[in-house]
A and B are shown apart, each in its own frame.
Chain A
Amino acid sequence: GEDVEQSLFLSVREGDSSVINCTYTDSSSTYLYWYKQEPGAGLQLLTYIFSNMDMKQDQRLTVLLNKKDKHLSLRIADTQTGDSAIYFCAEKNSNYQLIWGAGTKLIIKP
């Protein structure tokens, strides 16, 4: 069945770049998304990429998509303490449903 996998934790130093990786299995995915969830807060859509693109940049965020390997990554430049959160990767399947990863907790070291 459809599956989205992410590593559970990532620790980076403040000011460095963070790269969060995700793999998915559904080759018919139309859109792929990155969400941010902070403690006590709802899910915030950070960015998305259409499946026929390979890169998208939005200020400090860069999304890379390798469709052949079904690999998606989110790069956060100049990581700040406010970036501490859980980051979810999700893919939209052909039934318009979102399939989510388990989330990567980003830990910022001073």
Chain B
Amino acid sequence: DAGVTQSPTHLIKTRGQHVTLRCSPISGHKSVSWYQQVLGQGPQFIFQYYEKEERGRGNFPDRFSARQFPNYSSELNVNALLLGDSALYLCASSLTGTGMNTEAFFGQGTRLTVV
């Protein structure tokens, strides 16, 4: 059974560009959460989606947006990239997004470098 898959694994973008990151949750999971992990720090919560609705949003600017599709996969979009957006972007999936196992399953992440 496939785990949480993210694509691409690595990405290099130029300041001002736009980027789309993708996440496929574990089969049967309906909730996806996105995190940003800057080098040397812990992950920071960006979004949580459940049943295609945004359930939670972290303290990130409006340049960050996301959506969840009918098959529960998700995209994270970042517009007008800044150097400070360089980070590892992690996706986590869970059945419902609540309870103890909300973030039990993480993807390998997408390493975004903005130059």
> Which A residues are within 8 Å of any B CB, using their own CB?
4, 31, 33, 41-45, 48, 50, 88, 90, 92, 95-103
User: At the interface, yes or no: B48 with Cβ under 8 Å from chain A?
Assistant: yes
Contact A42 B107 (CB under 8 A): yes
Contact A96 B97 (CB under 8 A): yes
Contacts of B58 in A (CB 8 A): 97
A contact face: mostly helix, strand, loop, or mixed = strand
Q: A4-B42, A43-B92, A45-B106 are in contact. List 5 more A-B contacts (CB 8 A).
A: A42-B106, A45-B103, A48-B100, A97-B45, A100-B43
Contacts of A90 in B (CB 8 A): 42, 103
A41 to B106 Cα, complex, angstroms? 10
Contact A31 B107 (CB under 8 A): no
Contact B90 A42 (CB under 8 A): yes
Q: Known interface pairs A41-B108, A43-B90. Does A102 touch B56 (Cβ–Cβ under 8 Å)?
A: no
Contacts of A44 in B (CB 8 A): 106
Contact A98 B43 (CB under 8 A): yes
B contact face: mostly helix, strand, loop, or mixed = loop
Contacts of A99 in B (CB 8 A): 45
Q: Known interface pairs A43-B106, A96-B55, A97-B56. Does A103 touch B100 (Cβ–Cβ under 8 Å)?
A: no
A98 to B107 Cα, complex, angstroms? 16
Would you give the 0/1 interface string for B22-37, flagging 1 where the beta carbon is closer than 8 Å to chain A? 0000000000010100
Contact A100 B44 (CB under 8 A): yes
A33 to B48 Cα, complex, angstroms? 18
A60 to B48 Cα, complex, angstroms? 32
Contact A98 B45 (CB under 8 A): yes
Would you give the 0/1 interface string for B92-106, flagging 1 where the beta carbon is closer than 8 Å to chain A? 100001101011111
28 example contacts (A-B, Cβ-Cβ < 8 A) are as follows A31-B100, A42-B90, A42-B106, A43-B43, A43-B92, A43-B103, A43-B106, A44-B106, A45-B103, A45-B104, A45-B105, A48-B100, A96-B55, A96-B97, A96-B102, A97-B45, A97-B56, A97-B58, A98-B33, A98-B35, A98-B43, A98-B45, A98-B102, A98-B103, A99-B45, A100-B43, A102-B42, A103-B42
